[in-house]
Amino acid sequence: MARIVMKFGGTSVADIARIRNVARHVKREVDAGHEVAVIVSAMAGKTNELVGWVQDASKAEGSNFNIYDAREYDAVVASGEQVTAGLLALVLQAMGVHARSWQGWQIPLKTDTSHGAARIADIDGSFLIQRFSEGQVAVIAGFQGIAPDNRISTLGRGGSDTSAVAIAAAVNADRCDIYTDVDGVYTTDPRIEPKARRLARISFEEMLEMASLGAKVLQVRSVELAMVHKVRTFVRSSFEDPDAPGMGDFDNPPGTLICDEDEIVEQQVVTGIAYAKDEAQISLRRVADRPGVAAGIFGPLAEANINVDMIVQNISEDGSYTDMTFTVPSGDVAKALAVLEKGKEKVGYDVVQHDDGMSKVSVIGIGMRSHAGVAASAFRALSEKGINIRAITTSEIKISILIDGPYTELAVRTLHSVYGLDKQ
């Protein structure tokens, strides 16, 4: 017998028929004798609709300007998950499963006061453990909690993954199963490279990079949390027949296990290729080379909430001037340029240049720590395809390369094959 947290995303609970299918997955685990808690998202599209209503309602009359009270935003958008939790409990009951729904505040899942993007502060697992001991399946509304001001809070878009992992940690679950509309984590995006393979296992660190670099399977924060608390997290499909062979095999179900690297026996050098489109490159030419310049540039950008990604600074030739290049999401270029213009005098630079429509392609693998030449093979392969490299950044387990957007697909396929990910 195991203790399992099961999480179902929006497309998996999009209508009653799909909720019935979800209930069959739950019943399968309950019938196998496991203790089960279920976390649900809102029905697909529901949260977007609710956010739209909030924006509409908070517009001042005759103006396009809208600024809304984040506490009321939370009161509205948290309702989507409340609905699915209740519906799934009803469907489970109709199937003869002893189930009950719970809202975030009832657990309670305590957060900080950052309404709209709250962070989890504390979850006392004993409430749910008590439910397990009563043989109850607890169906929990994801994405929401309760803030110190005694009001409902939400965890930011995609936050029900984080609810699930946090609850799995709090009840010391054997595994957190994330059921979604894909059947696992792939070596790269199968829509770009049909030879992409599903990974049986991937380490927390690699998954964190994959998720941050564009693979949208899991909310990044949920992976951080899984890594910190060592929650074995399993990505699998909710659309498969719940009773298909192997689905109920606890030790080896179909999908991808995100786990500690110690659990990965045969570590490949490179595990996956990720990409992010719509990046823009901004370069400041002839920046004074003196202490405080980087702080003077990136401080104001951070204050304006602009997410700066790759940063490349050259060593100046004569010790007086240098160039500074960095990337931001394309949508933030105008805002970034305005911030830079404002600080021009203080920072001291010649001109600012920018280029939209870039992509960042990344090679990820913990095996890189102990293998030389991984970056060199990427550069060679890209050059053979005539792909120009704009900027490069590396960490212990990844290499990110900035290229022109139209070459994204070719670069992804080239790198995927260079590291032998097409095979096996």
Contact call for residue 41 and ligand ASP (CB under 6 A): yes
Q: Shortest distance, CB of residue 201 to Mg ion, whole angstroms?
A: 21
Q: Which is nearer to ligand ASP, 218 or 264 (CB)?
A: 218
> Within 8-27, which residues bind ligand ASP (CB under 6 A)?
9-10
Contact call for residue 153 and ligand ASP (CB under 6 A): no
Q: Which is nearer to Mg ion, 119 or 286 (CB)?
A: 119
Residue type at 10? G
Task: Build a one-symbol-per-residue string for 319-358: x at contacts with ligand ASP by CB under 6 A, - elsewhere.
Answer: ----------------------------------------
Among 104, 116, 145, 158, binds ligand ASP (CB under 6 A): 158
Is the peptide bond prior to 108 cis by the omega test (within 30 degrees of 0)? yes
Which range of residues in 157-165, 294-302, 332-340, 355-363 is near ligand ASP by CB under 6 A? 157-165
Helix (H) / strand (E) containing 408: helix 408-418
Q: Shortest distance, CB of residue 103 to ligand ASP, whole angstroms?
A: 14
Contact call for residue 158 and Mg ion (CB under 5 A): yes
Among 104, 145, 159, 184, binds ligand ASP (CB under 6 A): 159
Task: Build a one-symbol-per-residue string for 2-41: x at contacts with Mg ion by CB under 5 A, - elsewhere.
Answer: -------x--------------------------------
| Runs of H (alpha helix) within 219-356 | 220-229, 293-303, 333-342, 344-347
Distances from the Cα of 383 to the Cα of 93, 278, 322, 357, 415, angstroms: 60, 22, 27, 20, 11
Which range of residues in 41-49, 64-72, 250-258, 299-307 is near ligand ASP by CB under 6 A? 41-49
Q: Shortest distance, CB of residue 299 to Mg ion, whole angstroms?
A: 33
Query: Which among Mg ion, ligand ASP, none contacts residue 184 (Cβ within 5 to 8 A by kind)?
Result: none
DSSP per-residue string spanning 353-372: EEEEEEEEEEEE-GGGGG-S
Q: Shortest distance, CB of residue 408 to ligand ASP, whole angstroms?
A: 26
- Residue among 54, 101, 106 nearest 81 (CA): 101
Contact call for residue 80 and ligand ASP (CB under 6 A): yes
Among 71, 157, 286, 335, binds ligand ASP (CB under 6 A): 157
State the CB neighbour count (10 A cutoff) for residue 96: 9
Contact call for residue 229 and ligand ASP (CB under 6 A): no
Is 88 within 8 Å of 38 (Cβ atoms)? yes
φ, ψ (nearest 5 deg) of residue 282 = -125, 130
Q: Give bridge partners of residue 284 from the DSSP assignment.
A: 324, 352
**Which is it for strands 311-313 and 351-364: parallel, antiparallel or unpaired?**
unpaired
Among 73, 143, 186, 419, binds ligand ASP (CB under 6 A): 143
Q: Which is nearer to ligand ASP, 10 or 365 (CB)?
A: 10
Q: Which is nearer to Mg ion, 9 or 365 (CB)?
A: 9
What are the counts of helices (DSSP H) followed by strands (DSSP E) for the chain?
13, 18
Q: Taking the chain, what is the end-to-end CA distance rounded to the nearest angstrom?
A: 34
Task: Using the structure block, give the residue that is written with the tokens 């209508």.
Answer: 15
* Residues contacting Mg ion: total by CB under 5 A: 2
* Residues contacting ligand ASP: total by CB under 6 A: 13
**Token duo for residue 19:** 């909720």
DSSP per-residue string spanning 143-178: TEEE-TTSSEEE--TTTHHHHHHHHHHHTT-SEEEE
**Binding residues vs ligand ASP (CB under 6 A):** 9-10, 41-42, 47, 80, 142-143, 157-161
**Binding residues vs Mg ion (CB under 5 A):** 9, 158
